[in-house]
Amino acid sequence: MQELNISRLPDDTGWELALTGKWLLQRGDTRVAELLNDLKTKVAAGERLTFVDAGIEEWNSALVVLIEKVQGYADEHELKVDISSLPTGVRQLRALAASHPKRKDMSRRDEAKPPFVERVGLATLAWWKSTRVSMAFIGELLFAVGRMLSGKTKLRWRDVYLCMEDAGPSAFPIVALISVLIGMILAFVGAVQLQQFGASIFVASLVALGMAREMGAMMTAIIMAGRTGASYAAQLGSMQVNEEIDALETMGLKPMEFLVLPRFIALLIMLPLLTIFSTVLGIAGGSLVALLMLDITITQYVEQMTSTVPLHHFVIGFVKSLLFALVIAVAGCMNGITCGRSATAVGQATTRAVVMAIVFIIVVDAVVTIITTVLGI
């Protein structure tokens, strides 16, 4: 048990603070508040406070914290503090804490929150800056593609194949599972309604149209945004943190051509392929429901689908997948390349990449749907 007793010094020149027991941090009671209250009521300005080791069994920073607080109070109330009879280690720690020069101008404790108008202004400037960064990135990417097409850039096809493997075959199982389930869900939802009108056969049209025009491309893109887009942002972000991107630049290699272009090309090839698989598997999932729940044969299902869903719906889905690939690659790579230099920044870049990709996938999908509706296709 720790104890602290305050009493008048025998020579009446001040107060004695006698410490006994264990003064340890872990005990959860540094007795600071209690002591400061005592000082307020008992000690007058100009008096001396003398700490006395009256049987300290163990001590650690808890004791030094107590002394620091008393010193702070003493400075404010013109008291003198004497710790010369305390253990050497305590005195050394206090001396060490006081030995470093103070740099008041560096403190952020008193920094006030900027006013509302200033914060709006700062947020607007930050938004404008990030928009310019995005525009510059897309511009640079277009230049890189142009240089590649004109043969001025030597693309590392080995990197492209590795990225294709990661964005294609590795992603296939999850895309396949989700697609089959989406096809089945579409068929279930349609079947409940269409059965009431004796039009169950139109489940084939519903599933095929839904998968071909919308769900095949969109679901694959959303899966890939969470999987591959996030992975691009994390990979490039980590390279930024480890100064690998700086190293590439100093070696005269353009990160845009060395890192972004292979990922961009890989996704542009693999996402449409995955979308085709997704559409086919979604239709197959729908056919399972039709076969098992609605007593529709496979032949009837395929005939209904081919007669009511022309090929251009599949082409629209394919075109969308190309646009989605572009969105995911740009969001992933851009947020990775422009990432800050800390572990937190990598996390933030990855989150931004996924959110940006999903938002723009929906926006692009809406725009394409409006255009095709206006054009009547």
247 binding other proteins? (CB under 8 A): no
Q: Copy the structure tokens of residue 191.
A: 């079947």
Measured between alpha carbons, how far is 352 from 364 in angstroms, rounded to an integer?
Answer: 18
Under rule CB under 8 A, which residues in 334-363 are in contact with other proteins?
340-345, 347
In angstroms, the Cα distances linking 62 to 26, 47, 68, 168 are 9, 25, 10, 59
Q: Cβ 242 to other proteins, closest distance in Å? A: 11
Q: Cβ 66 to other proteins, closest distance in Å? A: 9
Measured from the CB atom, the residue of 348 and 372 that comes closer to other proteins is 348
What are the residues facing 15 on neighbouring strands? 8, 49
Binding residue count for other proteins, defined by CB under 8 A: 41
Q: Cβ 339 to other proteins, closest distance in Å? A: 12
Measured between alpha carbons, how far is 357 from 60 in angstroms, rounded to an integer?
Answer: 53
Measured from the CB atom, the residue of 56 and 206 that comes closer to other proteins is 56
- Which residue from 6, 18, 36, 60 is in contact with other proteins, where contact means CB under 8 A? 60
Given the rule CB under 8 A, which of 103-111, 217-225, 232-240, 320-328 is the region that contacts other proteins?
A: 103-111
42 binding other proteins? (CB under 8 A): no
61 binding other proteins? (CB under 8 A): yes
- The phi, psi pair for 56, rounded to 5°, reads -75, 120
Measured between alpha carbons, how far is 4 from 36 in angstroms, rounded to an integer?
Answer: 12
26 binding other proteins? (CB under 8 A): yes
- Which residue from 10, 45, 84, 107 is in contact with other proteins, where contact means CB under 8 A? 107
108 binding other proteins? (CB under 8 A): yes
Measured from the CB atom, the residue of 29 and 303 that comes closer to other proteins is 29
Measured from the CB atom, the residue of 27 and 312 that comes closer to other proteins is 27
Measured between alpha carbons, how far is 17 from 42 in angstroms, rounded to an integer?
Answer: 12
- Which residue from 34, 75, 97, 128 is in contact with other proteins, where contact means CB under 8 A? 97
Using DSSP's 3-state secondary structure scheme, residue 53 falls into strand
Amino acid at 174: I
Q: Copy the structure tokens of residue 59.
A: 């001590």
Number of helices and strands (H, E) in the chain? Answer: 15, 4
Given the rule CB under 8 A, which of 19-27, 115-123, 210-218, 281-289 is the region that contacts other proteins?
A: 19-27
Q: Cβ 265 to other proteins, closest distance in Å? A: 33
Amino acid at 329: A
Measured between alpha carbons, how far is 230 from 224 in angstroms, rounded to an integer?
Answer: 8
Amino acid at 275: T
92 binding other proteins? (CB under 8 A): yes
Measured from the CB atom, the residue of 69 and 147 that comes closer to other proteins is 69
Percentages of the chain per state (helix, strand, coil), in multiples of 5: 70, 10, 20
Eight-class DSSP state of 256: I
Q: Cβ 334 to other proteins, closest distance in Å? A: 21
Binding site for other proteins (CB under 8 A): 25-30, 32-33, 60-62, 64-65, 68-69, 88-90, 92-93, 96-104, 106-109, 111, 340-345, 347
